Structure 1
Amino acid sequence: MSKKKSSSKKNKAKGTGPELPVGRLDITRSGMGFVIIEGLEQDILVKPNDFNTALHGDKVKVQVMRSSGRGGGRLQGMITEVVERKQQSFLGKIELSKSFAFFIPETDKPMPDIYIPLDKLHGAENGARAVVKIVEWSNNKKPVGEVMEVLKEEAANDTAMKEILLENGFPLSFPEDVLEETARIPETLDAKEIAKRKDMREVLTFTIDPMDAKDFDDALSIQSVKGGYEIGVHIADVSYYVEPETELDKEAYLRATSVYLPDRVNPMLPEKISNELCSLRPHEDKFTFSAVFLINARGDVKESWLGRTVTHSDHRFTYEEVQEIIENEDGLYKEEILLLNKFAQRMRKQRFKKGAINFSSQEVRFKLDENRKPIGIMIKESKEAHQLIEEFMLLANRTVAEFISKIEVNKKTLPFPYRVHDQPDEEKLTPFAAFALKFGHTFHTKSPEQIAASFNQLLQDVQGKPEQHVLEQLGIRTMAKAVYTTKNIGHYGLGFEHYAHFTSPIRRYPDVLVHRVLQQVLDEQYLPDKKMEEKCKHCSERERAAMDSERASNKYKQVEYLMNFLGDEFDGVISGVSSFGFWVETVEHKCEGLVSITSLSEYDDFRHVESDYMLAGRRSGRTFRMGDKVRIRVVAANLEKRQLDYEWVIATAMKEETGDARARKAAAKKAGNKKHGKKK
Structure 2
Amino acid sequence: MGRKNNKNTKKGKRKGSQKETYKGRLEITRSGMGFVIVEGLESDVLVRPPDFNTALNGDTVRIHVKPNRDGKRMQGEVVEVLERKQLEFIGKLEMNKGFAFFVGDSKNRMPDIYIPEKNFNNANENDRVVVRITEWEQGTGKRPVGEVVTVLAAEDANDMAMKEILLENGFPLEFPEEAMEEAARISDVIPEAEINKRRDFRNTLTFTIDPVDAKDFDDALSIRVLKNGNYEIGVHIADVGHYVEEGTALDEAAYTKATSVYLPDRVNPMLPEHISNVLCSLRPHEDKLTFSAVFEMTPKGAVKKYWLGKTAIHSDHRFTYEEVQEIIEKQEGHLLDEILLLNNIAQRLRKKRFDSGAINFSSQEVRFKLDETGKPIGVVVKESKESHQLIEEFMLLANRYVAQHVSEIEINKKPLPFPYRVHDLPSEEKLLPFMAFARKFGHKFDMSSPEKIAESFNQMLEDAQGKPEQHVLEQLGIRTMAKAVYTTENIGHYGLGFENYCHFTSPIRRYPDILVHRVLLGVLRDNIKPDKKMEQKCKHSSERERAAMEAERAANKYKQVEYMQNFLGEEFEGVVSGVSAFGFWVETVEHKCEGMVSITTLSDYDDFRLVDTEYALVGMRSRRKFRMGDKVRIKVVAANLEKRQLDYEWVLSTTAESFENNNVVEEAPKKAKRKKKKSTED
- TM-score, normalized by length of structure 1? 0.93
Is the Cα contact below 8 Å between 2:582 and 2:599 reproduced in 1? yes
- Distance, in Å, in 2 between the alignment partners of 1:472 and 1:307 is 39
**Equivalent of residue 454 in structure 2, options 452, 455, 458:** 452
Q: Which amino acid aligns with 2:30?
A: R
- Distance, in Å, in 1 between the alignment partners of 2:580 and 2:285 is 55
The C-alpha deviation readout for 1:75-107, integer Å capped at 9, x for no partner, is 333322211111110010101112111101111
Which is further off, 197-206 or 135-144? 135-144
- Distance, in Å, in 1 between the alignment partners of 2:7 and 2:513 is 38
The C-alpha deviation readout for 1:630-679, integer Å capped at 9, x for no partner, is 1112111111111111122226999997569xxxxxxxxxxxxxxxxxxx
- Distance, in Å, in 2 between the alignment partners of 1:610 and 1:41 is 23
Deviation at 1:621, TM superposition (A): 2.6
Classify 1:74/1:632 alpha carbon distance in 2 versus 1 (closer, same or farther; 3 Å). closer
- Distance, in Å, in 2 between the alignment partners of 1:383 and 1:496 is 22
Classify 1:248/1:11 alpha carbon distance in 2 versus 1 (closer, same or farther; 3 Å). closer
- Distance, in Å, in 2 between the alignment partners of 1:15 and 1:43 is 20
Which residue is equivalent to 2:324?
322
The C-alpha deviation readout for 1:256-299, integer Å capped at 9, x for no partner, is 00000011000000000000000000000000000000011222
Which residue is equivalent to 1:666?
none
Which residue is equivalent to 1:479?
481
Deviation at 1:49, TM superposition (A): 2.6
Which residue is equivalent to 2:680?
none
Which residue is equivalent to 1:427?
429
Which residue is equivalent to 1:12?
9
- Distance, in Å, in 1 between the alignment partners of 2:255 and 2:529 is 19
- Distance, in Å, in 2 between the alignment partners of 1:272 and 1:120 is 28
Q: For 1:630-645, what aligned pairs fall within 5 Å after superposition?
A: 630-645=632-647
The C-alpha deviation readout for 1:126-164, integer Å capped at 9, x for no partner, is 001111011111122211111111111111111111111
Deviation at 1:34, TM superposition (A): 2.2
The C-alpha deviation readout for 1:330-353, integer Å capped at 9, x for no partner, is 100000000000000000000000
Q: Does 1:249 align with 2:248?
A: no
The C-alpha deviation readout for 1:367-402, integer Å capped at 9, x for no partner, is 001110000001000000000000000000000000
Which residue is equivalent to 2:584?
582
Which residue is equivalent to 1:469?
471
- Distance, in Å, in 1 between the alignment partners of 2:245 and 2:298 is 38
Which residue is equivalent to 1:67?
67
Is the Cα contact below 8 Å between 1:603 and 1:651 reproduced in 2? no
Identity fraction in percent:
69
- Distance, in Å, in 1 between the alignment partners of 2:619 and 2:30 is 37
Deviation at 1:474, TM superposition (A): 0.5
Which residue is equivalent to 1:158?
159
What SS is found at the alignment partner of 1:265? strand
Deviation at 1:628, TM superposition (A): 0.7
- Distance, in Å, in 2 between the alignment partners of 1:11 and 1:104 is 35
Which residue is equivalent to 1:52?
53
Which residue is equivalent to 1:106?
105
More helix by share: 1
Is the Cα contact below 8 Å between 1:67 and 1:74 reproduced in 2? no
Which residue is equivalent to 1:265?
267
Which is further off, 183-192 or 384-393? 183-192
Deviation at 1:6, TM superposition (A): 3.4
- TM-score, normalized by length of structure 2? 0.93
Is the Cα contact below 8 Å between 1:600 and 1:651 reproduced in 2? no
Q: For 1:348-497, what aligned pairs fall within 5 Å after superposition?
A: 348-497=350-499
What SS is found at the alignment partner of 1:551? helix
Deviation at 1:485, TM superposition (A): 0.1
Q: How many aligned positions are there? A: 655
Q: Which amino acid aligns with 1:121?
A: F
Is the Cα contact below 8 Å between 1:67 and 1:73 reproduced in 2? no
Which residue is equivalent to 2:676?
none
Q: Which amino acid aligns with 1:296?
A: T
Is the Cα contact below 8 Å between 1:602 and 1:655 reproduced in 2? no
Q: Does 1:302 align with 2:304?
A: yes
- Distance, in Å, in 2 between the alignment partners of 1:11 and 1:300 is 47
- Distance, in Å, in 2 between the alignment partners of 1:629 and 1:391 is 35
What SS is found at the alignment partner of 1:514? helix
Q: Does 1:137 align with 2:136?
A: yes
- Distance, in Å, in 2 between the alignment partners of 1:128 and 1:287 is 45
Which residue is equivalent to 1:665?
none
The C-alpha deviation readout for 1:7-29, integer Å capped at 9, x for no partner, is 44499264689x95321112223
What SS is found at the alignment partner of 1:436? helix
The C-alpha deviation readout for 1:201-222, integer Å capped at 9, x for no partner, is 0000000000000000100000
Q: Which amino acid aligns with 2:75?
A: Q
Deviation at 1:604, TM superposition (A): 2.1
- Distance, in Å, in 2 between the alignment partners of 1:524 and 1:11 is 35
Which residue is equivalent to 1:224?
225
Which is further off, 492-501 or 143-152? 143-152
What SS is found at the alignment partner of 1:645? strand
The C-alpha deviation readout for 1:227-275, integer Å capped at 9, x for no partner, is 3110000000000000011000000000000000011000000000000
Deviation at 1:413, TM superposition (A): 1.1
Q: Does 1:504 align with 2:506?
A: yes
Which is further off, 373-382 or 602-611? 602-611
Classify 1:51/1:657 alpha carbon distance in 2 versus 1 (closer, same or farther; 3 Å). closer
Q: Which amino acid aligns with 1:98?
A: K
The C-alpha deviation readout for 1:525-551, integer Å capped at 9, x for no partner, is 010000000000000000000000011
What SS is found at the alignment partner of 2:75? strand
Is the Cα contact below 8 Å between 2:585 and 2:597 reproduced in 1? yes
Which is further off, 506-515 or 185-194? 185-194
Classify 1:352/1:95 alpha carbon distance in 2 versus 1 (closer, same or farther; 3 Å). same
- Distance, in Å, in 1 between the alignment partners of 2:556 and 2:12 is 42
Is the Cα contact below 8 Å between 2:271 and 2:508 reproduced in 1? yes
Q: Which amino acid aligns with 1:382?
A: S
- Distance, in Å, in 1 between the alignment partners of 2:478 and 2:329 is 30
Deviation at 1:508, TM superposition (A): 0.1
Deviation at 1:61, TM superposition (A): 1.7
Is the Cα contact below 8 Å between 2:604 and 2:672 reproduced in 1? no
Which residue is equivalent to 1:664?
none
- Distance, in Å, in 1 between the alignment partners of 2:290 and 2:451 is 37
- Distance, in Å, in 1 between the alignment partners of 2:7 and 2:72 is 12
Classify 1:615/1:659 alpha carbon distance in 2 versus 1 (closer, same or farther; 3 Å). closer
The C-alpha deviation readout for 1:496-546, integer Å capped at 9, x for no partner, is 000000000000000000000000001100100000000000000000000
- Distance, in Å, in 2 between the alignment partners of 1:385 and 1:15 is 60
Classify 1:659/1:21 alpha carbon distance in 2 versus 1 (closer, same or farther; 3 Å). closer
- Distance, in Å, in 2 between the alignment partners of 1:7 and 1:413 is 28
Q: For 1:270-289, what aligned pairs fall within 5 Å after superposition?
A: 270-289=272-291
Classify 1:548/1:459 alpha carbon distance in 2 versus 1 (closer, same or farther; 3 Å). same
Which residue is equivalent to 1:663?
none
- Distance, in Å, in 1 between the alignment partners of 2:207 and 2:310 is 18
Is the Cα contact below 8 Å between 2:492 and 2:501 reproduced in 1? yes
Classify 1:467/1:332 alpha carbon distance in 2 versus 1 (closer, same or farther; 3 Å). same
RMSD: 2.0
Deviation at 1:62, TM superposition (A): 1.9
Which residue is equivalent to 2:188?
187
Is the Cα contact below 8 Å between 2:293 and 2:307 reproduced in 1? yes
Which residue is equivalent to 1:43?
44
Is the Cα contact below 8 Å between 1:132 and 1:147 reproduced in 2? yes
Classify 1:191/1:102 alpha carbon distance in 2 versus 1 (closer, same or farther; 3 Å). same
Which residue is equivalent to 2:24?
23
Classify 1:95/1:446 alpha carbon distance in 2 versus 1 (closer, same or farther; 3 Å). same
Which is further off, 251-260 or 132-141? 132-141
Classify 1:461/1:523 alpha carbon distance in 2 versus 1 (closer, same or farther; 3 Å). same
- Distance, in Å, in 2 between the alignment partners of 1:607 and 1:46 is 35
Q: Does 1:126 align with 2:125?
A: yes
Unaligned ranges ≥5, structure 2: 656-666, 674-682
Q: Which amino acid aligns with 1:512?
A: I
Q: Name the larger-Rg structure.
A: 1
Q: Which amino acid aligns with 1:575?
A: S
Q: Which amino acid aligns with 2:9?
A: K
Deviation at 1:74, TM superposition (A): 3.6
